[in-house]
Amino acid sequence: MDQQQILSRITAMVEDEKKLRDSLAAGEIYGPTERERLGALERELDQCWDLLRQRRAKTEFGADPDEARVRPAAEVEGYRS
């Protein structure tokens, strides 16, 4: 994926996340399955942001941005601690 494709994917996921959060807050949907969906969406979004940061860093330092790879969710989520 190039930078524009990643940004488009992020935009779509942010919209999906907002709709899901709004539906949960309004009580329109409920349950562990929806919360799992939201969690999965958040992890995938974090991975996309990480990939975008990798690509930008590689470009900034003269490396090939196409060498950036999606890292496992556990690795990306570990950055929070």
In the block, tokens 């979004």 appear at: 45
Domain count, the chain: 1
Structure tokens at 79: 């950055």
Q: Please give the Cα distance from 51 to 55 (Å, whole number).
A: 6
Local confidence band at 18 (pLDDT 50, 70, 90 cut-offs): very high
pTM listed for this prediction: 0.83
Q: Please give the Cα distance from 17 to 40 (Å, whole number).
A: 10
Checking if the pLDDT of 72 tops 70, the result is: yes
pLDDT in tens, 22-58: 888 888 887 777 888 889 999 999 999 999 999 999 9
- Between 2-6, 33-37, 68-72, the lowest mean confidence (pLDDT) is in 33-37
pLDDT (0 to 100) of residue 6: 95
Local confidence band at 81 (pLDDT 50, 70, 90 cut-offs): very low
20, 38 in Cβ contact below 8 A? yes
Structural domain for 23, as ranges: 3-80
